[in-house]
Structure 1
């Protein structure tokens, strides 16, 4: 009995091939003679130095014996970035098992102490599938009071796509939302057997057309650093940076820490928000 095709790999390769123009790949093409977007399969095969039949099998998700050297050649032919190349390898050789979330989604005491020590900027710990595992008071003031939500709703993807208040918080909601989708795609490549992640993707695909459309793009993204703009109901516009760190022994968790430019209007407004979140910290003599 033939093995089932690797659908995720098939769709990823097709999406990368479709986005690459002949000109950018160094292939001469006469105007008006192409019927497909991007490169043809035989062109990718030629660029990668493999037979057309072999590449067709690969793009159909038949990867039982594909070697690292072939994957490297295909990655070069499709001009994949480092993150996309890693994703290609993960898709081609998917993990057979998936660690249970119940044992791996706890925040260890040392990481919780780091989070608790961050009092002047928002900070939170995300787990697999963008579950919010812990957040400091300023993060709860910025986003939403995660602790008041049912456990299933403490998830940044669900909040960004399905919670109107959180959706309105982002000045550039499409940019933030597409980053969420691409982050989930990266996780899906690393954990193809995760039923909770599959259920999350299915739920968001059914409930939000933007998620469904962006999921079909097969982009991947790893949170590292950047800037985001917010429109907060209490303090107005905020421009914050962010830095993301994963513990060396637990890459499924991310400590996300916001940053703010010293002396900026955003710093002043963030202090106001901190005062709302920590009234006793701002005025230690205030009555409890």
Structure 2
């Protein structure tokens, strides 16, 4: 039975090592056991063979985060596997590495689409909107009408008069958004990307610049959003924010209607939108 986290780490590293194909990685020679040899993992990880051997044997103390990251590369670990190695060796997950990717999976879009009368969207760590459902388009912003490079919540909040006019208390909302944006970006390890966006917004909006200098941080979890909608009038939406598992660069926000009136109103907007789309669809004569 394994007696310590170090021997558990060693067993896990040995298991990952035996799963790699030596020939596919450029190693040759006859082998009595499957996978890479210890010295080959050490070579791929750019660490000493002695140190790697000690790790598998549960000797030499806890490795540094740098060594663990090198081994993760050498063993071609997935992100969940790398996190597991850190938990075994150091008792904590690794520092977040911000690696933005393009788009979302079809499964994630289908999840948004199942929320029929609940506006929902997915944003990056820098609050670029990358996906949304039809309810979000008719209640919040029709992001299809916004150029891809401008699909950013902060750019809209501080640069679009219509978004400003729709808020019941723009100043409070803006302060909350900036504080939550700062917290989200730091949590995702996107400090450099955030600084570039903050510098841009500070040049174009003195109000953003003033709020950014306050260094306020807010938890973006849940709350109530109050809006002035051009058709529905004054509405309230409860919102909840969720992280997307396996994608530290993404977060999902879901807005639920507070009252039956708002829920029915959103449903009517969606039906009207479908009817207009059907009426505008090109028809072919079959006669």
TM-score by length of 2: 0.58
Residue in structure 2 matched with residue 173 of structure 1 by the alignment: 170
Compare CA radii of gyration and give the structure with the larger one: 2
User: 2:222 corresponds to which residue?
Assistant: 225
The counterpart of 2:264, out of the listed 242, 261, 268, is: 268
Alignment counterpart, residue 241 of structure 1, candidates 226, 238, 242: 238
After superposition, residues 188-227 of structure 1 pair within 5 angstroms as 188-190=185-187, 194-227=191-224
What is residue 73 of structure 1 aligned with on the other side? none
Determine whether 1:251 maps to 2:263: no
Which deviations, in whole Å up to 9, do the C-alpha atoms of 1:203-232 show, x marking residues without a partner? 111111221111111111232111011001
Partner of 1:145: 142
Asked if the contact 1:182–1:219 (Cα under 8 Å) also holds between the matched residues in 2, the reply is yes
Q: TM-score, structure 1 length as denominator?
A: 0.58
Q: How does 1:45-194 map to 2 (within 5 A)?
A: 99-101=98-100, 104-190=101-187, 194=191
Match of 1:44 in 2: none
**Structure 2 CA distance for partners of 1:105 and 1:198, relative to 1, 3 Å:** farther
Distance in 2 of aligned mates of 1:201 and 1:191: 16
Could you tell me whether the CA contact under 8 Å between 1:138 and 1:277 is conserved in 2?
no
Please state how far the C-alpha of 1:192 moved relative to its aligned partner: 6.1
- Preserved CA contact (<8 Å) 2:188 2:248: no
Q: Which runs of 5+ in 1 are unaligned?
A: 1-94
- Displacement of 1:274: 2.5
Specify every segment of 5 or more residues in structure 2 that has no aligned partner in the other structure, as ranges: 1-94, 282-287
RMSD (CA atoms): 2.6
The alignment partner of 2:197 has SS state of helix
What residue number does 1:279 align with? 275
TM-superposed deviation, 1:272: 3.1
Higher alpha-carbon deviation: 215-224 or 272-281: 272-281
2: distance between equivalents of 1:179 and 1:105? Answer: 27
8 A Cα contact 2:98 2:189, kept in partner: no
Moved more, 219-228 or 152-161: 219-228
Q: Distance in 2 between matches of 1:196 and 1:287?
A: 41
In 2, Cα distance between equivalents of 1:177 and 1:221:
12
Residues 106 and 259 (structure 1), Cα distance of their counterparts in 2 relative to 1, 3 Å cut: same
Query: Contact 1:170–1:230 at 8 Å: present in 2 too?
Result: yes
Could you list the per-position Cα deviations for residues 166-200 of structure 1 after superposition, in whole angstroms to 9, with x for gaps in the alignment? Answer: 12111121122112111222144346665432221
Number of corresponding residues = 188
Q: Could you list the per-position Cα deviations for residues 53-106 of structure 1 after superposition, in whole angstroms to 9, with x for gaps in the alignment?
A: xxxxxxxxxxxxxxxxxxxxxxxxxxxxxxxxxxxxxxxxxx6x95342xx242
- Contact 2:125 2:188 (C-alpha < 8 Å) held by counterparts: no
